[in-house]
Amino acid sequence: MLKLRSSTLSWTNERVDGVTVWPGAWADNFGTDFDFGGQAYAVADDALVYGSSADQVKGALDTRAGRAKSVLDSDRFAAALARAPSARLALVWIDIQASGGSMLMAPSMLMGGPTCAALTTGAPTDAVAAMYLRDGRAALDISYARPPGSPAPPLRESVLDVHVPADAFFYAETKANSFGITSEMLDCLRHAPGLEDEIARVEQSLGRLDDLISWVGDAGVAARFDGAKVTAGLVIKVTDELKASETLGQLRAAATLLGSIEGKVDVSEETYEGVRIVSFDFADGGVRRLADLAPDASVAYAMSDGLLVVGVDASFVRAVLDTDASSSIAGNSGYKRALEFAGGRQNAGAVFVDVPAALRLYDAVSAALPGAANHLGGEIGEYLGVLDDASVVVLGDEQTTTVRVTLDTRAP
């Protein structure tokens, strides 16, 4: 702090309860203080208090001496502290409702009328984030309280990860029906400036969006890299196969019509292991400079036994159809450890990244695009190479929702 006082600021001091408060101000700051006015600090016997003004530092000293209330006197903070692990490295808490943060989306939502405004009623009241170490993992829990009456996150055991190939380097899953899209959200989008005409055109051609996605249950997205090519796609639990077939038929008819008019879409199908795979190949597509790594410019889908698979190419669809529980990501040791650490397979959603596999793709992209490493973060392998996997799991109960982020290291 003596070195700080040797700076160009003009420093003064005053004594408060035996503690010296040092405020410093710029004579001409050229706007570099962001209107904070300067700096101030005090060194007490057990703490350094630092702020942008002497009043802030004195307020902290008053709180420390018990002359003013602290966050410990807040019911919300006390409840948030109870949600955080007691053995932790760091903690951050914010009273979202008191700060007005819950209304940040209100202006844009209100443009869509009462339906959009109603969507803001579930905004969290406060949030706490805690960083900690446990069982060889670094973890960050972000927990927020929901207002009374707001819906709890849907906690279910996965029925999709057993269909995802074990060599997927990325997998994300949501337990919210229709990707979490509700009829209220769609109605809000129908009135959003700039989207009204676009959505109207889509619904005129294909029907109401509510009906198009009403059959979508839990959904997951995965990406694979076999050392030569990247492929990715969706796995979707179908809750109504008849409606799903109708929607897929409409999309196929629209693509076929587009192909006959524009000549840019070629629709074909094949039978694989008794399942029909429909492919849409697009002319003049793809990423030229990554042609060897990028998937073909196409989309393919297949539906079998209540599961819809949509891939950027037919190879992803075939890989999913070939996968069973023993060859799926559900058996991946890192994936299993991540879910066990989070509390089990009952969750509202999860994201998993096999870091070494993802780095192999990074190396391939860097080789295909000389100099790409400089744009993608330099020697990223030096920082991520110590990690085995990264995961995000969403949990919750009647009052709170928790997002748990974990990193697992390859070695101590």
User: Which candidate, 265, 269, 255, 256, places its Cα nearest to that of 300?
Assistant: 269
Q: What is the pLDDT of residue 371?
A: 62
Note down pLDDT in tens along the chain; length 412 residues. 888 787 667 889 999 889 999 998 766 555 454 555 678 999 998 899 999 889 999 999 999 889 999 999 989 899 999 989 999 999 999 988 887 655 554 444 444 555 565 555 567 888 999 999 988 889 999 999 888 877 788 899 989 999 999 999 999 999 876 555 666 677 777 777 777 778 787 777 767 777 777 888 999 999 999 888 889 999 999 999 998 998 888 888 877 776 666 556 788 889 999 999 999 887 654 444 445 566 666 889 999 999 999 999 899 999 999 999 999 999 988 899 889 988 888 999 999 999 989 988 888 877 777 665 555 555 677 778 888 999 999 998 888 999 999 999 866 5
Calpha distance 406→338 (Å, rounded): 7
- Looking at the chain, the number of H-run helices and the number of E-run strands are 15, 20
Q: Which residues pair with 156 in a beta bridge?
A: 347
The dihedral formed by the CA atoms of 244, 248, 253 and 259, expressed in degrees to the nearest 10: 170
pLDDT, residue 148, reads: 80
The residue to which tokens 């890989």 are assigned:
319
Query: One-letter amino acid identity for 235?
Result: V
CA distances from 316 to 58, 227, 233, 347 (A): 63, 15, 7, 26
In the prediction, which pLDDT does 106 show?
46
- Maximal C-alpha separation, the chain: 86
The pTM is what?
A: 0.81
Vertex 234 angle, CA 410 and 239, to 5°: 125
Report pLDDT for 285: 47
Long-range contacts, 368-376 (Cβ 8 Å, 24+): 368/289, 368/290, 368/292, 368/293, 369/289, 369/290
H or E segment and range at residue 76: helix 75-83
Q: How far apart are CA 8 and CA 350, in angstroms?
A: 51
Cβ–Cβ < 8 Å for 291, 242? no
| Segments of 290-336 assigned E as strands | 298-304, 307-311
* Contact status, residue 177 vs residue 111, Cβ threshold 8 Å: no
Whole-angstrom distance, CA of residue 256 vs CA of residue 267: 6
Q: What gap in Å lies between CA 262 and CA 167, rounded to an integer?
A: 38
Cα–Cα distance measured from residue 25 to residue 184, given in angstroms and rounded to the nearest whole number? 52
Q: Could you list the beta-strand ranges (E) of 10-52.
A: 10-11, 14-16, 19-25, 39-43, 48-51
Instruction: Find the angle CA(297)-CA(302)-CA(308) to the nearest 5 degrees.
Output: 110
